[in-house]
Amino acid sequence: MPHHALDITLTRTLTRAELDQTVRTWPLVANRDTIRLMAVVRAKSPGKAWSRLRRQTGGRLPVDAITTHYPGPTGQVLLNVVFPPAAHAALTIAAERAGQPLRLFVQGSVHRALARWTDEEADRLDLAVRDLLAGTTPAQFLAALGRTLTRTPGAMPC
């Protein structure tokens, strides 16, 4: 049976006691601020891994979302979110109005939001680069960029 690496994003930072209690029942690794956890779950599919993880942690964790750590066979990272009842009802109504199953409606909404964010981020970076180039030459800009990218955190400045 395959193993699935899952990233768990929490709605809040865990206390040390909460983390210790959860780690006793399920092997997890936490990042420094304990807002993200990682688990490796043995299951036939990512869906079964999510279910097993949610069942084993018994609702002790304030889980916001669970994603697969690696892209699946389709090249996509899979997302598992449990919406509060009011949000679920609103999404169900919106999906019915759009004539789509809930899963496809949410998937399309997430894809559109990510595409919009990617475009906005590219526009923001383009504007920042144009502003920087307005006061310097491209050669000076590239030299500064090279220095910034090659500096090691904590190293003495050149």
| pLDDT for residue 96 | 96
SS3 71: coil
CA gap 57, 41 in Å, rounded = 12
- pLDDT band at residue 77 under the 50/70/90 scheme: confident
CA gap 66, 79 in Å, rounded = 6
| pLDDT for residue 158 | 47
Same domain? For 115 and 97 the reply is yes
In a domain, 122, yes or no: yes
91 or 64, which is more confident: 91
Same domain? For 118 and 64 the reply is no
- End of a domain among 82, 116, 140? 82
Query: Looking at beta carbons, which pairs linking 27-32 to residues 24 or more positions away fall under 8 Å?
Result: none
Same domain? For 68 and 94 the reply is no
SS3 37: strand
- pLDDT band at residue 155 under the 50/70/90 scheme: very low
CA gap 128, 53 in Å, rounded = 43
Candidate ranges 28-32, 61-65, 72-76, 94-98; pick with highest mean pLDDT: 94-98
- Please write the tens of the pLDDT for every residue from 13-65: 888 888 888 888 778 888 887 888 998 988 888 888 888 888 887 677 888 88
Same domain? For 121 and 139 the reply is yes
| Percent of the chain at pLDDT exceeding 90 | 27
100 or 30, which is more confident: 100
83 or 119, which is more confident: 119
Provide Rg for the chain, Cα atoms.
21
Domain count, the chain: 2
Domain that holds residue 28: 3-82
Comparing C-alpha atoms, which of 91, 46, 85 is closest to residue 69?
A: 46
Same domain? For 97 and 61 the reply is no
Same domain? For 9 and 76 the reply is yes
Same domain? For 68 and 91 the reply is no
In a domain, 155, yes or no: no
Same domain? For 106 and 144 the reply is yes
| pLDDT for residue 82 | 82
- pLDDT band at residue 153 under the 50/70/90 scheme: low
| pLDDT for residue 114 | 92
